[in-house]
Amino acid sequence: MTDPGRSCLVVGSSDGIGRRVVERMVADGWTVTGISRSPADSLGDRHHHHVLDVRAADYRAALAAVCDQRGPFDVAVYCAGVGDLLELDDLAAQRAAFEVNLLGAVDTFGVLYPAWRARRAGHFVVLSSLADKLLGPRSPGYNASKAAVSSYFESLALAVRGDGIAITNLRFGFVDTKLAKSPLRPFMLTRDRAARTVARVIARRPIRRSTPLPMVALCAALGLILQCRALLG
C-alpha cells in the first residue's frame, strides 16, 4: 500500500476496521481523511478527521465541502456500519441499518462520482458482509442492507468501469470489533488482517472479494439451508 502522495477518504473511521485502515494507510504514507460521528485522535499531519453523520439530512452537502477542502481522493473506503439484533417492539434499529450501511454508501459514492468521472480515476471500496446471502431472524435489517449493498455496488461497478472508476465490494465474515455480536464467531479475522485485505483490494481493484475462504464455504452452505427452509415454509 506504500504510495506517498495518494489520498484516501475513510467513512466510519473512529473505530473497528475503519480505524485500523486509517492507521495502516497513514503509516504507509497516504494522506487520509476520516469521517464518523465521534472525534478521533490525530495521527499527524497526513491525517484529518471530520465529525459527520451519514444519516444527517445535510450529509451530502457536508461531504461535498470535505471533498472541496481535502480532495481530490484517489480512493474511498466506506466502513460505516451498524448491525443491531432484532427487537420486534422497536424496529428503528432495523431501519438504521439501511440508512447507514446502504444509503450512506450510496450517497457517498454519489458525491464522489462527478469528480472521479471528470478525472477518469477513482476507486470506491465498500464493506459488505458474507451475511448478504443469509436469511435469518436475528438481524434482518443488517442482512438485507448488506444484500442490497452487494447487489447495488457490484452492478454499479460494471456501469462505471468505462469511466476508469473501480468499485470493490469487500465481503468479510466475522472481524474482531464491537459490531460482531454473535456468541459464535467462527474463523474470525483480526482488525489487522481486515485492514491488510483492504490494502490488497486497493492494489488489485477486484469487483468482489470474499474472505476468509472457510467462512465463505460455511455461509454458502448455511445460505442454502436457510433458503430451503424458507421455501418449505
Question: Residues interacting with ligand NAP, by CB under 6 A?
Answer: 12-18, 36-38, 53-55, 79-83, 100-101, 127, 129, 172, 174-175, 177-180
Nearer to ligand NAP, 15 or 163 (CB): 15
| Residues 13, 40: Cα–Cα separation, whole Å | 8
CB of 14 to ligand NAP, least distance (A): 4
**Residue 129 one-letter amino acid:** S
In a 13 Å sphere around the CA of 179, the CA atoms on its Cβ side amount to: 25
For residue 144, give the C-alpha cell: 438485507
Rounded to 5 degrees, what angle do the CA atoms 223, 226, 232 make? Answer: 140
Nearer to ligand NAP, 120 or 192 (CB): 192
CB of 23 to ligand NAP, least distance (A): 13
- Say if CB 32 and CB 26 are below 8 A apart: yes
Nearer to ligand NAP, 18 or 212 (CB): 18
Nearer to ligand NAP, 30 or 78 (CB): 78
Burial class of residue 9, CB neighbours in 10 A (0-12, 13-18, 19+): buried
Nearer to ligand NAP, 2 or 69 (CB): 69
- Say if CB 232 and CB 34 are below 8 A apart: no
**Residue 176 one-letter amino acid:** D
Residue that the C-alpha cell 485500523 belongs to: 20
CB of 119 to ligand NAP, least distance (A): 26
CB of 96 to ligand NAP, least distance (A): 8
Residue nearest to ligand NAP (CB): 16
CB of 162 to ligand NAP, least distance (A): 27
